[in-house]
């Protein structure tokens, strides 16, 4: 028995049998890769990982200390069976330089209006490295799938046997400073300039870091000169990243700059369904729809929600139904929204459109006022928990059908008119930020 197994045996004594069977029993310890400072365990099911981490890693680490005097960081990762099979078959694969998440694939990426441009761009780069858009620059808000898409291309390249480096600006910087300290710059340059594909995530963090920008610039030039594919992501358009050398900024735009927008409802639903499939969680259609409407654009929340639902239902021995889901998610999802009321929404919309808040609630029919009223109704519906009749009453409309008519209209406009959609988003963000 290795020390990892011994520790899990000890843990067994401290927790209930049900917990042990459900979460701990299936963990396997990687005796080869683990060290005194890092204990690596594998789990089979992505969904329980967060749960195990939050609940047991401290304990596990402590038990290691009891056993051998060292208190390691406990890492629990998904065991990828496919990956393992491949490695056994072909032991002589080229050294992969980076850790790509194998589930970040194109087939796991749900495409909708919000992300189809970026998707198409990355896909075509993955089919034609170095030749179509080089560099490719993907930008968009948090949790919209930038890293996923970038790694999807990385996975394709890696499967073709190319050497792919995936790194964040932070890692690149750490690597760089370490190389200076240890006098190993040559190796550093070799590594970054001899790869086939370079993926750099969250490039906005280069902002105002002159030393690394210089090194980065030369890396870029070398790779580009050799026709090697480079992909960047950032939270904003390269033009909007402040504190960037002009020559870098211009190079970011050399190839193609593609944006990702927040997903529409249908895309969110498709993403949730996909995540359920991957994580083997069964949710009924009404629950999926409910989750899609209550989460904001940030898709990253979805995985946390699924794992929370799964863990709670297991521990409490209940099925996941809609009321259970609402209960579990209540605190997490509505927290920000509870503070938002209709008065503050109309105030912010009125101010933005240069009219008085009272006019929004008046019977005024002028174009501007009707426009502001419609937008306010839509945002109130999105950001507060008021029902249609409550909205009708607040806005002095005949009944709830007038409200649903307005909401349909706005939805259509959002679909047709990109500027309008951005306007609504901007207002919603202002309102959430001020609450
Ligand atoms: P970003 O890098 O833009 O902050 P990520 O790529 O890390 O976002 O995505 C956050 C999570 O959402 C990941 O689990 C990712 O798989 C998932 N995700 C985002 N967009 C999609 C999509 N269109 N289809 C499937 N999963 C998605
Ligand atoms: Mg990312």
Which CATH number fits the domain that encloses residue 388?
Answer: 1.10.1750.10
> Are 166 and 133 contacting, i.e. CB atoms less than 8 angstroms apart?
no
Are 220 and 139 contained in the same domain? yes
> Are 380 and 394 contacting, i.e. CB atoms less than 8 angstroms apart?
yes
Q: Is residue 76 over pLDDT 90?
A: no
Which is more confidently placed, 51 or 151?
151
Are 255 and 281 contained in the same domain? no
CA-to-CA separations, 414 to 11, 359, 432, in angstroms, rounded: 54, 24, 19
Q: What average pLDDT does the segment 79-86 reach?
A: 55
Which is more confidently placed, 430 or 234?
234
The overall longest dimension of the chain from CA atoms, in Å, is: 79
Q: How far is the CA of 173 from the centre of ligand 1 (A)?
A: 25
Q: Is the CB of 356 under 6 A from ligand 1?
A: no
HSE-CB for 428 with a 13 A CA cutoff: 20
Are 132 and 243 contained in the same domain? yes
Are 270 and 246 contained in the same domain? no
Q: Which of 23-32, 219-228, 243-252, 336-345 has the lowest mean pLDDT?
A: 336-345
Q: What is the spatial order of strands in the sheet that 38-43 belongs to?
A: 28-29, 38-43, 73-78
Structure confidence at residue 433 (pLDDT): 64
Is 98 inside a domain boundary?
no
Structure confidence at residue 298 (pLDDT): 75
> Of 60, 78, 93, which closes a domain?
93
Q: Is residue 248 over pLDDT 70?
A: yes
* Nearest ligand to the C-alpha atom of residue 170: 2
Are 372 and 254 contained in the same domain? no
Q: What average pLDDT does the segment 315-320 reach?
A: 80
Are 86 and 127 contained in the same domain? no
CATH of the domain at 76: 3.30.300.180
**Summary mean pLDDT of the chain:** 86
Which string of DSSP letters, residue by residue, matches 280-323?
A: T----HHHHHHHHHHS-S-THHHHHHHHHHHHHHHHHT----HH
Atom of ligand 1 nearest to the CA of 140: 3
- Structurally, how many domains does the chain consist of? 4
pLDDT digits (tens, 9 = 90+) for 161-220: 999 999 999 889 999 999 999 999 999 999 999 899 999 999 999 998 888 999 999 999
Atom of ligand 1 nearest to the CA of 146: 3
Are 65 and 154 contained in the same domain? no
Q: What average pLDDT does the segment 227-233 reach?
A: 96
Structure confidence at residue 334 (pLDDT): 55
pLDDT digits (tens, 9 = 90+) for 354-397: 999 999 998 888 999 999 999 999 999 888 888 899 999 999 99
Buried b (16+ CB within 10 A) or exposed e, 239-260: eebeebeeebeebbebbbbbbb
Which is more confidently placed, 302 or 29?
29
Q: Atom 6 (ligand 1): residue with closest C-alpha? A: 145
Sequence-ordered list of residues with C-beta below 8 angstroms from that of 173, at least 6 positions apart, any chain? 209, 212
Which of 299, 302, 303 best tests ligand 1's pocket when mutated (most atoms within 8 Å of CB)?
299
pLDDT digits (tens, 9 = 90+) for 319-349: 888 888 888 777 666 555 666 889 999 999 9
Is 104 inside a domain boundary?
no
Are 275 and 356 contained in the same domain? no
Q: How confident is the model at residue 96 (pLDDT cuts 50, 70, 90)?
A: very low
Q: Is the CB of 110 under 6 A from ligand 1?
A: yes
Which of 137, 143, 269 best tests ligand 1's pocket when mutated (most atoms within 8 Å of CB)?
143
22 — alpha (psi -120 to 50), left (phi > 0) or beta?
A: alpha
Is 101 inside a domain boundary?
no
Structure confidence at residue 87 (pLDDT): 43
Is 107 inside a domain boundary?
no
Structure confidence at residue 326 (pLDDT): 82
Q: Is residue 98 over pLDDT 70?
A: no
Q: How confident is the model at residue 91 (pLDDT cuts 50, 70, 90)?
A: very low
Atom of ligand 1 nearest to the CA of 303: 14
CA-to-CA separations, 296 to 77, 333, 420, in angstroms, rounded: 27, 9, 18
Q: Atom 18 (ligand 1): residue with closest C-alpha? A: 145
Atom of ligand 1 nearest to the CA of 111: 23
Structure confidence at residue 16 (pLDDT): 80
Sequence-ordered list of residues with C-beta below 8 angstroms from that of 148, at least 6 positions apart, any chain? 101, 104, 108, 109
Are 86 and 213 contained in the same domain? no
CATH of the domain at 186: 3.40.50.300
Is 269 inside a domain boundary?
yes
Q: Is residue 31 over pLDDT 80?
A: yes
Q: What average pLDDT does the segment 311-318 reach?
A: 80
**Domain limits at 306?**
265-333
pTM to 2 decimal places: 0.61
Is 108 inside a domain boundary?
no
Structure confidence at residue 251 (pLDDT): 93
Are 148 and 213 contained in the same domain? yes
Structure confidence at residue 92 (pLDDT): 35
Which is more confidently placed, 183 or 44?
183
Atom of ligand 1 nearest to the CA of 302: 12
CATH of the domain at 324: 1.10.8.60
Structure confidence at residue 338 (pLDDT): 63
Are 152 and 270 contained in the same domain? no
> Of 215, 236, 260, which closes a domain?
260
> Of 333, 363, 381, which closes a domain?
333
Name 390's bridge partners.
none
Is 291 inside a domain boundary?
yes
> Are 7 and 56 contacting, i.e. CB atoms less than 8 angstroms apart?
no
Cα 311 versus chain centre, distance: 21
Is 18 inside a domain boundary?
yes
Q: How confident is the model at residue 294 (pLDDT cuts 50, 70, 90)?
A: confident
Percent of residues, the chain, with pLDDT higher than 70? 92
Q: What is the CA radius of gyration of the chain?
A: 25
Are 162 and 28 contained in the same domain? no
Structure confidence at residue 81 (pLDDT): 55
Q: Is residue 277 over pLDDT 60?
A: yes
* Nearest ligand to the C-alpha atom of residue 146: 1
Q: Is residue 90 over pLDDT 70?
A: no
């Amino acid at each position: 028995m290795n020390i990892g197994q011994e520790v899990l045996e000890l843990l067994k004594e401290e927790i209930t049998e049900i917990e042990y069977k459900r979460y701990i029993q299936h963990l396997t310890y990687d005796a080869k890769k683990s060290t005194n400072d890092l204990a690596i365990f594998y789990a089979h099911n992505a969904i329980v990982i967060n749960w195990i981490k939050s609940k047991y890693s401290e304990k596990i680490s402590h038990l290691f200390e009891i056993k051998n005097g060292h208190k390691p960081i406990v890492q629990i990762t998904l065991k990828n069976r496919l990956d393992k099979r491949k490695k056994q078959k072909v032991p002589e694969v080229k050294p992969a330089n980076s850790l790509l998440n194998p589930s970040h694939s194109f087939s796991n990426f749900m495409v909708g209006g919000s992300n189809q441009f970026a998707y198409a761009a990355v896909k075509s780069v993955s089919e034609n490295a170095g030749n179509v858009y080089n560099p490719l620059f993907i930008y968009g808000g948090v949790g919209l799938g930038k890293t996923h898409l970038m790694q999807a291309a990385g996975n394709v390249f890696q499967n073709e046997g190319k050497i792919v480096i995936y790194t964040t600006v932070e890692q690149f910087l750490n690597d760089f400073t370490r190389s200076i300290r240890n006098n190993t710059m040559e190796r550093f340059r070799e590594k970054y300039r001899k790869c086939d594909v370079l993926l750099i995530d969250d490039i906005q963090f280069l902002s105002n870091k002159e030393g690394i920008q210089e090194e980065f610039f030369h890396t870029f030039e070398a790779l580009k000169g050799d026709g090697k594919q480079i992909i960047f992501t950032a939270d904003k358009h390269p033009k909007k990243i402040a504190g960037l050398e002009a020559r870098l900024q211009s190079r970011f735009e050399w190839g193609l700059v593609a944006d990702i927008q927040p997903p529409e409802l249908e895309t969110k639903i498709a993403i949730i369904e996909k995540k359920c499939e991957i994580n083997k969680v069964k949710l009924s259609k009404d629950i999926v729809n409910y989750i899609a409407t209550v989460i904001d654009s940030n898709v990253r929340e979805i995985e946390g929600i699924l794992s929370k639902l799964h863990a709670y239902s297991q521990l409490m021995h209940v099925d996941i139904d809609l009321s259970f889901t609402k209960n579990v998610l209540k605190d997490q999802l509505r927290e920000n929204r509870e503070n938002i009321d209709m008065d503050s929404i109309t105030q912010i919309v009125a101010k933005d459109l240069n009219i008085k808040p009272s006019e929004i609630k008046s019977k005024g029919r002028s174009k501007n006022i009707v426009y502001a009223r419609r937008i306010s109704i839509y945002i109130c519906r999105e950001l507060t928990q008021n029902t249609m009749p409550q909205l009708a009453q607040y806005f002095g409309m005949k009944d709830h059908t007038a409200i649903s008519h307005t909401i349909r209209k706005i939805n259509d406009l959002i679909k047709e008119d990109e500027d309008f959609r951005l306007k609504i988003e901007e207002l919603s963000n202002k309102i959430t930020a001020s609450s």
